[in-house]
Structure 1
Amino acid sequence: MVQIQKPNIPTFPPEDLWSDEPPLETYRHLEELIILLTSLNRFWSDRQDFFAAGNMTVYYSSRQRKNEELRGPDFFVVLNTERRERKSWVVWEEDGKYPNVVIEVLSDSTSSVDRNQKKLLYQDVWRSRDYFWFHPYTLEFKGFTLMGRKYVEIEPNEQSWLWSDELQLYLGVFNEKLRFFTPEGELVPTPEEAEARALSVAELERQRADAERQQAELERQRADAERQQAELERQRADAERQKNAILRQKLLELGINPDDMG
């Protein structure tokens, strides 16, 4: 019997997939992703039902091949999933879940792809509900949300922020950085900003307590001064009474009735 040798066809993807993204282009790109990731993780510190990542590969198809132009998203959030560490996001290992929100940090070399091919990928294949892009140098900022099967541009509010219905947060430019804002308009701080704010609040509280102690000390000193003044008045009155008593006694010794003196 002739045995037919099966061709050695590599299986794709392997079971353990590492992220395979190139380094970020500039420090501003890195800083932006750190700000987005750390601020959201801190803001949702009590939640265990999401995964947020930056510069991480998303594997979504067995036919997927590495494409130097179509890289993984710069930042993405998946909702209703387990919050744990991952080497990459592998859709078929995650119950078929795709990112709910994608943010691309534009650069001169990637902006055309982000505005076109990636936008179509996120719209038609991933069906990611919200898609935003931001350029850290020109500050170009746009957002889109799925309406039916197409992305429509999100209208900015009075502060030029864009609402993400998935995150229930605004995104807006603050100090030339893309930031999250609460529905009430509060900036979502990074851990460092939150710590600095807490230290500032603690310092203000310390200053307030010092001011209250100083005010209390002034009140105590004022009360002491009033008591001393009252004591001086009492002593003066006693001295006046003693003087009058001595004078009366001397007049009586001289046979003069003080009461007759008017």
Structure 2
Amino acid sequence: MYQPNPAADVIWPPTDLWSDEPPMESDWHRKQMQVLIESLESHWRDRQNFYCSGNLTIYYSLTQRKSEDFRGPDFFVVLGCERRERRSWTVWEEGGRLPNVIVEILSESTAEIDRGLKKQIYQDVLRVPEYFWFDPQSQELCGFHLVEGQYEPLEVSESGRLWSGQLELFFGVPEDRLRLLTADGTVIPTPMERALEAEQQVLQEQQRAVQAEQQVVQERQRAERLAQRLRELGLDPDAL
């Protein structure tokens, strides 16, 4: 836990700092980050005690506006805090709370730093309980949890997923994209996916209704043809 240590000669940074992150490297990175944020916020829509974001600066030093050694993670989750929008995550304004989970999406320009320097910072400075990285090119998914101050690899499940004890959810890679999954392996949908699924269900119900109506019409037509045939044979179908 971050412990403030005020001193008379400390120049406190402003408390309304804006995030100072570079733009995402590609549309793919932006969409990947967004799907993690939207799916978790949707899954925890009834919870008010967490914050998740991505590519947002985390300010954790009392004497610096930002650290040259650390920029905002691609995705991070803080537990036990107020759920509201923020310009940045400023630790000394959040009761010393630091991320519980961090995920980095690797690229050619960031992979070495994400695997090395950032991992070291998350372990030794921010003390992040769980750190994951995902390489969209090779589909490599790695995860670590803090054990006695050191990162230990998380055990990979038979299905290739990694369990987050902090989130009580899996990270997995269905259809070549990093997703959050429930304990039973169900992919957590984004609001748009949830809406599309509901729309598809409505369409399927409408199709079933149309098919049922068509079947009724066909049965009625068969009954009418049979009645007509009986009349041609001199029989009264209503008397049968």
TM-score (norm 1): 0.78
- The AA in structure 2 aligned to 1:53 is S
Map of 2:135 onto structure 1: 135
Is residue 2:61 matched to residue 1:46?
A: no
Shift of 1:175: 2.4
- The AA in structure 1 aligned to 2:178 is L
What does residue range 91-170 of structure 1 map to in structure 2 within 5 Å?
Answer: 91-170=91-170
Higher mean C-alpha displacement, 213-222 vs 120-129: 213-222
Deviations 1:1-44 (A, max 9, x none): xxxxxxxx892311211111111222221121111111211222
Structure-1 separation of matches of 2:208 and 2:133:
44
Check the 8 A contact 2:59/2:66 in 1, yes or no. no
Structure-1 separation of matches of 2:72 and 2:115:
14
Shift of 1:183: 1.1
Map of 2:59 onto structure 1: 59
What does residue range 14-25 of structure 1 map to in structure 2 within 5 Å?
Answer: 14-25=14-25
Map of 2:72 onto structure 1: 72
User: For the structure 1 residues 47 and 230, does the alpha-carbon distance in structure 2 shift closer, same or farther, using more than 3 Å as the test?
Assistant: farther
SS at match of 1:42: helix
The share of aligned pairs that are identical, in percent, is 47
Check the 8 A contact 1:70/1:113 in 2, yes or no. no
Check the 8 A contact 1:132/1:142 in 2, yes or no. yes
Higher mean C-alpha displacement, 210-219 vs 61-70: 61-70
Give aligned pairs, total.
229
Shift of 1:176: 2.2
Deviations 1:172-196 (A, max 9, x none): 1122211111111111122222222
Structure-1 separation of matches of 2:218 and 2:125:
72
Return 5+ residue gaps in structure 1 as ranges: 1-8, 238-262
Q: CA RMSD in A?
A: 2.3
Structure-2 separation of matches of 1:236 and 1:45:
66
Map of 1:255 onto structure 2: none
Shift of 1:169: 1.1
- The AA in structure 2 aligned to 1:29 is H
Shift of 1:148: 2.8
Shift of 1:229: 6.2
Task: Give the structure with the higher percent helix.
Answer: 1
Structure-2 separation of matches of 1:213 and 1:142:
53
Is residue 2:203 matched to residue 1:203?
A: yes
Shift of 1:62: 0.9
**More relative contact order in 1 or in 2 (CA 8 Å, sep 6+)?**
2
Check the 8 A contact 1:123/1:150 in 2, yes or no. yes
Check the 8 A contact 1:69/1:113 in 2, yes or no. no
Shift of 1:170: 0.8
SS at match of 2:201: helix
Runs of 4+ aligned structure 1 residues displaced above 3 Å come to 63-69, 219-237
Based on CA coordinates, which of the two structures has the bigger radius of gyration?
1
Shift of 1:87: 0.5
Shift of 1:166: 1.1
Structure-2 separation of matches of 1:147 and 1:12:
33
SS at match of 2:178: strand
